[in-house]
Structure formats: C-alpha cells, structure tokens
Amino acid sequence: MSSASFSLQAALFAALAADAGVKSALGDPPRIYDLVPREPVFPYCALGDDGEAAWDTATGTGSEHRLALDIWSRGGGHKESKDAADAVRAALDAAALSPAGYTLVNLRYLGADFARQPDGETYRATLHVRAVMEMSE
C-alpha cells in the first residue's frame, strides 16, 4: 500500500503549494520539500515521517496514514514557525484532496509540537495529521 502513502503525499504537496496563506508564510513558490536542500532558505516545510496501516472494510480496501509536517524557522523565536504552522493547518482544513487512485475518507489534524533546536536559533513546529483512504474503483 505504499503507493497510497505516496499518492497522499503528492496530494498534500499540491494543496499546500497552491494555497495563498502557505505562499505568504513560506514564499512563492512555497518552500515545501520532501528532500531538503543542503542550504535551505528559512522558513520552510519538510514532509516528515509517516506511517501506514491497513483500514480495510467489508466492501473495500483502505489504509490509515499518520504523517508529520515539519516547519523550520530561524525568524527569531517561535512566532514565525507557529505562524507558518497555522497557515499549513488552515490550508489542510480547506483542502479538497484527491489522491490519485484513492478516495480520501477523512483528514484530521491531531496536534502539534513546538521546539527550539539545540543551536538556539532554529525552531521547529511539527504538525501531526491522520488520513484515511480507500482504493478507488
């Protein structure tokens, strides 16, 4: 089912990249990465860790996904990372995702973590999201 995970990732990326609020927070085009460049411009969003589990029903094949979106900032405190996280969350709340080959049953924000990194100047906001999808017929 890893194709389901990648299909969800691609749909999330497209929705975030098209959102005006995300562009305002992360640049235009927005700095959203699966593979972060060696010397990235801050702030940016990185597609973080994810997991997948079976979510089959009596009538179809499905999957549950839990994923993280990491916002990285060096804007002088937590504010920039939290503002960007708010923009990403708002974009996900408004998104009508269409993962190729799948039907999105549910997309839910689960919470966020905010942390100052050991270098003292980098901040990370991690959004946790859950999605349930079924294979399209």
Name beta bridge partners: 53.
Answer: 64
Give percent of the chain above pLDDT 70: 99
Confidence of residue 2 (pLDDT cuts 50, 70, 90): confident
Confidence of residue 58 (pLDDT cuts 50, 70, 90): confident
Sign of CA dihedral 11, 17, 20, 23: positive
Give, for 4, the enclosing helix (H) or strand (E): helix 2-18
Closest CA to 25 of 72, 68, 67, 69: 72
Single pTM value for the model: 0.93
**Residues 90-113: tens digit of each pLDDT:** 999 999 999 999 999 999 999 999
Pairing of strands 102-116, 44-54: unpaired
Question: Cα separation of 47 and 105, whole Å?
Answer: 21
Name beta bridge partners: 115.
Answer: 124
3-state class (DSSP) for residue 131: strand
In the chain, what are the domains? 2-135 (3.30.2000.30)
